[in-house]
């Protein structure tokens, strides 16, 4: 009996760290599809389920039923990195219902949902970077910019806090620029990977993708554009940089 109780407790403690690629969600939540090639809607919660249709990236789906954890599923975007998840029953715009893999769903919207698209020169609500514009789709700014000190040959270095506990650090200057988003605790490494790839590398044709010691690195072949994703002390960091 004690052995069984220990096993149950072990499962309860270990479960969150290995199961949810997108973090916790519940029936009634609206989630966004982040699969570049679309997400297959199936009649049953399994990869062999009959295909109903492909749900396009950026589509907002409503959770009808979750908890199909007896049927885990995973996808490996590149060697060494796996997006793990389960099946969730959803309703898509137009009323169709079915099951999708939740590893490519997020509470964050896609970059294509920005009011002025992904135009890097667009300014929404006085936001001066695409990263700030993106975060402001999900939460308000909290207070004024925090000056972090520019240092030599730097143009700007500041931080912006948001009401959902995310923050953005901007550091630009000679030699290149870096933008770091620190998400709230509910956001996962897998979500940040999908967001960063779309936000910063959407137009890059060929990427080098690696993972080492928990750090995911995506680099353009000319090594000018880079995304790094990692979990530091329970906070997911998404770093986007460009070398001049």
| Domain extent listing, the chain | 2-106, 112-243
- Bin 159: left if φ > 0, else alpha if -120 < ψ < 50, else beta: beta
CA–CA separation, 197 and 92 (whole Å): 24
Given a cut of 80, whether residue 48 has pLDDT beyond it is yes
pLDDT per residue as tens digits for the range 96-135: 999 999 999 999 999 988 877 666 566 666 778 999 999 9
Residue 126: predicted pLDDT: 76
Specify the range with the lowest mean pLDDT, choosing from 40-49, 69-78, 82-91.
69-78
Which CATH code is given to the segment(s) 2-106? 2.30.30.40
Q: Alpha-carbon distance 169 to 184, whole Å?
A: 14
- Alpha carbon 213 to chain centroid distance? 19
Q: Give the CA radius of gyration of the chain.
A: 19
Between CA 217 and CA 215 the distance in angstroms is: 6
Q: What is the pLDDT of residue 13?
A: 35
pLDDT value at residue 181: 98
pTM of the model: 0.87
Question: For the segment 147-205, what is each residue's pLDDT rounded down to a tens digit?
Answer: 998 788 889 999 999 999 999 999 999 999 999 999 988 899 999 999 999 999 988 88
Q: Distance between the two ends of the chain, CA-based, in angstroms?
A: 63
């Amino acid at each position: 009996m004690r052995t069984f109780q220990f096993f149950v407790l072990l499962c309860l403690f270990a479960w969150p760290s290995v199961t949810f690629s997108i973090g916790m969600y519940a029936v009634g939540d609206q989630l966004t599809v982040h699969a570049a090639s679309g997400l297959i809607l199936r009649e049953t919660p399994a990869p062999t389920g009959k295909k109903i249709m492909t749900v396009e990236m950026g589509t907002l789906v409503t959770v009808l039923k979750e908890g199909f954890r007896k049927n885990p599923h995973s996808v490996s975007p590149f060697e060494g990195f796996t997006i793990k998840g389960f099946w969730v029953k959803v309703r898509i715009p137009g009323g169709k219902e079915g099951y999708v893999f939740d590893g490519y769903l997020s509470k964050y919207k896609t970059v294509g949902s920005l009011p002025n698209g992904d135009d890097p020169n667009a300014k929404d609500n006085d936001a001066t970077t695409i990263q700030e514009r993106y975060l402001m789709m999900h939460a308000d700014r909290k207070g004024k910019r925090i000056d972090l000190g520019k240092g030599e040959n730097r143009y700007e270095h500041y931080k912006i806090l948001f009401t959902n506990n995310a923050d953005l650090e901007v550091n630009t200057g000679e030699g290149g620029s870096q933008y770091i988003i620190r998400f709230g605790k509910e956001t996962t490494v897998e979500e940040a990977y999908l967001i960063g790839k779309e936000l910063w590398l959407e137009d890059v044709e060929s990427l080098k993708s690696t993972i080492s010691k928990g750090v995911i690195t995506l680099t353009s072949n000319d090594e000018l554009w880079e995304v790094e994703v990692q979990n530091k002390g329970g906070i997911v960091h998404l770093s986007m940089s460009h070398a001049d």
